[in-house]
Amino acid sequence: MEKLRNYIGGAFLEPSTGEYIDNYDPSTGEVYSLIPNSDDKDVEMAVEAAQKAFPLWSGMLAEERGNMIQKVADGIAARMDEFVAAESRDNGKPVSLARHVDIPRAVSNFSFFASAIKHFASESHYMEGVGFNYTTRKPIGIVGCISPWNLPLYLFTWKIAPALVSGNCVIAKPSEITPYTAYLLSDVCAKAGLPAGVLNIVHGLGQKAGEAMVVHPKVKAISFTGGTVTGEHIARTAAPMFKKLSLELGGKNPNIIFADCDFDKMLSTTMRSSFANQGQICLCGSRIFVERPIYEKFKEAFVAKTNALVVSNPTDEKAKMGAIVSKPHMEKVLSYIELAKEEGGIVLSGGTQVQMPAPYDKGYYLRPTIIENLPYTCRTNQEEIFGPVVTITPFDTEEEVLTMANSTKYGLSATVWTNHLQKAHRVADQLEAGIVWVNDWLVRDLRTPFGGVKASGVGREGGWEALRFFTEPKNIFIKQ
């Protein structure tokens, strides 16, 4: 059985514990590789390696660092098929999705920041007759990046790329549920000639390896993407140590459909925003609110399309949905479907597991699920399910739908469908969310601020926001 290794100080190392964690292929339910079960000793080694590398890396010109990071982007692009197959196998997502979204985006994350750092400028403020202020932006030092399982390499690189180009040395931990493409990335970095210790990838459990990163006094900033409960715990630990924190957390995003929208475009995009990646994207619209005049029409068309959606093994090119990431997660999603029924919900489509033929018969497959007849205040409509489960609810007025949309503790993203210009602006303006799409979904410009409000997080990623997060500003005044 293949054993993954930590990437520390440019070397591929076994975990100091000598222990490994099983890595499952969700499409078959079989263990197919072993992940280092790292602990604080491995993190300590990574910190020492990062400390050693910091003077060289932070002392390089931004342009040189950018060029080096571009080589990493090129290294992934050159091994596209290998990365695509690995991501699909590790996560259960359709190969087609990994090919069109995950891996190209990981390449873009590196390319984008390789270029962005060359354009990153600092501010100066002149006080007439008094003097000049100029602000320098220096790397923080050693930073920690922790990412989740749903978009493994995509979200891992979204943090690592800006952290590295800004001149920091990085300790990074991918999710223990989907570590494989991060492991491949370490090989790409080694071959691209990234100096030893600049990026260190430590595999293992959140409560052990992740926790060791968060509590380490020499790790000066933590960029975390994952669940809200974990984010809360990290904030509680890191805040008293005065670490910089970026927290990208859960969501329960509303998808608001007005009667005057372009119905066909809305319907096909709503299929994606509901069920892409098996509904396991933090930006999926899991609460669908439909204006009453088109509620029945929408319901009929949406249910018909959902019933026809192909759930299959991830290597099947026809698959629109693959496997759920893990058995415990599938069980969690199923338990929410049961809860929805207890709360009075009517399952219009799905609601059950899919039995696949061998060798996929022990894999974790769920039917895309639509539920109606639930109050917006119930747990099914308030808690993050993070699977292929959506609820549909009719509404009559803008005021009413805004109340329902803004009623959860989350505030990550929202989608609005209308052809009425002023209504689009009005509703977008009043939504409590960090990101709003009007008449589309998941269009991403890497320059824009990315993140949520309320329990969906603190801080923003993307563009200058990320480069600002990973640098420390210093204002210097000079008397005229």
Q: Which residues are catalytic?
A: 248, 282
Stretch that binds ligand NAD, among 106-114, 229-237, 288-296, 470-478 (CB under 6 A): 229-237
170 contact partners, CB below 8 Å, separation of at least 6: 50, 142, 143, 144, 145, 160, 163, 164, 198, 199, 200
Number of residues that bind ligand NAD (CB under 6 A): 31
Here's the x/- map for ligand NAD, 1-30, by CB under 6 A: it reads as: ------------------------------
Closer residue to ligand NAD in complex, CB, 140/234: 234
Beta strands in 423-470 (DSSP E): 435-438, 457-458
* Whole-angstrom Cα Rg for the chain: 23
Closer residue to ligand NAD in complex, CB, 233/272: 233
Is residue 446 a contact partner of residue 407, using CB atoms and an 8 Å limit? no
Residues forming a β-bridge with 245 = 222
Q: Footprint of ligand NAD on residues 275-294 (CB under 6 A)?
A: 282
Q: Footprint of ligand NAD on residues 348-387 (CB under 6 A)?
A: 384, 386
Closer residue to ligand NAD in complex, CB, 89/252: 252
Residues forming a β-bridge with 142 = 169, 219
Closer residue to ligand NAD in complex, CB, 167/174: 174
251 binds ligand NAD (CB under 6 A): yes
Helices (H), 10-61: 40-59
CB of 307 to ligand NAD, least distance (A): 27
Stretch that binds ligand NAD, among 4-12, 40-48, 55-63, 224-232 (CB under 6 A): 224-232
Q: Footprint of ligand NAD on residues 130-189 (CB under 6 A)?
A: 146-150, 155, 173, 175-176
Which uninterrupted H or E stretch holds 127? strand 124-127
Comparing C-alpha atoms, which of 138, 246, 135 is closest to residue 472? Answer: 138
Which one-letter amino acid corresponds to residue 283?
Answer: L
Q: Which of 67, 122, 207, 377 binds ligand NAD (CB under 6 A)?
A: 207
Is residue 372 a contact partner of residue 295, using CB atoms and an 8 Å limit? no
DSSP state string for 343-384: TT-EEEE--SB--PPTTSTTS--B--EEEES--TTSHHHHS-
Q: Which of 233, 272, 341, 444 binds ligand NAD (CB under 6 A)?
A: 233
Q: Footprint of ligand NAD on residues 416-475 (CB under 6 A)?
A: 452, 456-457
Closer residue to ligand NAD in complex, CB, 46/294: 46
Q: In what order do the strands lie in the sheet with 413-417?
A: 346-349, 369-372, 389-395, 285-291, 253-257, 413-417, 435-438
Alpha-carbon gap, residue 305 to 197, rounded angstroms: 50
Closer residue to ligand NAD in complex, CB, 74/383: 383
Name the residues that contact ligand NAD, by CB under 6 A: 146-150, 155, 173, 175-176, 206-207, 210-211, 214, 225-227, 230, 233-234, 248-251, 282, 384, 386, 412, 452, 456-457
